[in-house]
Amino acid sequence: MRLSFIRLVLLAGVAVNIASPRDVMAQSPEKPASPGVTINQDRLARLKAAKMPKLDRAIPFDTPEADAILAALEVFPPDNPWNIPVDDWPLHPNSKGMIAAIGGNKPLRYNPDMSFVLVPPDQKMVDVKLAAYAEESDKGPYPVPDNAVIEGWPAIFKRDLATKNLTLNDVQRGKPSLDADRHGIVVDPVNRKLYEFYRLTKTDSGWKAEQASIFDLASNRSRPDGWTSSDAAGLPIFPSIVRYDELKRGKIEHALRATFVKTRRAYVYPATHFASRSNDETLPRMGERFRLRKDFDTSKFSPEVRTILEALKRYGMLNADNGIDWAVSVAPDERIPVLHDELRKVKGSDFEVVTPPKVYAPPK
């Protein structure tokens, strides 16, 4: 997942496109829009009309109860880098070089990996023993419930003959292997707080993890420059996950998380950390944004895959960690069909690297 080295800060940006008919420039007197940022008014209207259901217990992500809560949850402000359309952003000057270095013939893939649990506002706070990245972690305690899910649960485990009989408790305690990222994600929708862990594991004496990050879902505040998170780029994972409720609605209104085998020893906003020894400028930096080409025909794909591809055209995907090339993160929800065969029809050459407009300023 990561390597810790002396950090190099590169500030470029996340911005958003110039207004389209369904997007207008935000003119809130309380918080003016950042320069160059277009606000998705459709998303704002949907969230304003939604009613947050009562949450009185920890609820796994793959349930109808969770779907209703997620539909009413605003994940970061409208001008946050995860939420802004980038379909009119200019190309990075080395877009073709980066695409070629990663592999233009390689297919788009997905990992049904990032699970999470929703907790009530009065969830009991517990200590989590931190190890390798404690100095770059946010201090606890944390609202980790007994039914906290670990990366890949349940779909990855239940679809594999070798692991289908494992219980959640088995996975929490490290089966089948501790040699994995084992991301753990806890969301408090009422207080709009996000807790993410790297290598979260249950033991007889409580929970332990390599790293812990806390994000305020009502704020645009990033992690300190040079700090990691549960992802190598220092970014949150939860805002990037392709969820069942989004696929059912037929619309994803945020950027996706992507991984690549080889990355550069640099990061670009909104990332705050890198995990590489290479200074090769044809490799993507952490935080690099990729966008599916406007002319890519999505009409012959299934509704689920078409929804993902249209999001990649409008919001793109951010390089967040080292991993499989061209792989995006989808919730390991058994209600989501297997998408591999269709996604593999999309190639790396169908993407382009984009950069923010010159007028863009990161939101505060």
H/E stretch holding 312 reads helix 303-314
Give the number of residues written for the chain. 364
User: To which residue do tokens 């995860």 refer?
Assistant: 82
Pairwise CA distance, residues 53 & 58, whole Å: 13
**Token pair in block for residue 164:** 């289908």
Phi, psi at residue 296, to the nearest 5°? -75, 125
Residue with tokens 């929804």: 307
pLDDT tens sequence for the chain (364 residues): 554 333 333 433 433 332 333 333 333 334 566 777 889 999 999 999 999 999 999 999 999 999 999 999 999 999 999 999 999 999 999 999 999 999 999 999 999 999 999 999 999 999 999 999 999 999 999 999 999 999 999 999 999 999 999 999 999 999 998 788 999 999 999 999 999 999 999 999 999 999 999 999 999 999 999 999 999 999 999 999 999 999 999 999 999 999 999 999 999 999 999 999 999 999 999 999 999 999 999 999 999 999 999 999 999 999 999 999 999 999 999 999 999 999 999 999 999 999 999 999 899 8
Q: How far apart (Å, rounded) are the C-alpha atoms in residues 93 and 353?
A: 9
Contacts of 112 (CB under 8 A, 6+ apart): 152, 155, 156, 330, 331, 332, 333, 336
Please give the sequence-ordered ranges of beta strands (E in DSSP) within the chain, or none if there are none. Answer: 9-10, 59-60, 109-112, 117-118, 128-130, 184-188, 193-198, 201-203, 206-209, 211-216, 256-260, 267-268, 289-292, 317-322, 327-330, 351-354
Does the predicted TM-score (pTM) go above 0.95?
Answer: no
- In one-letter notation, the amino acid at residue 74 is E
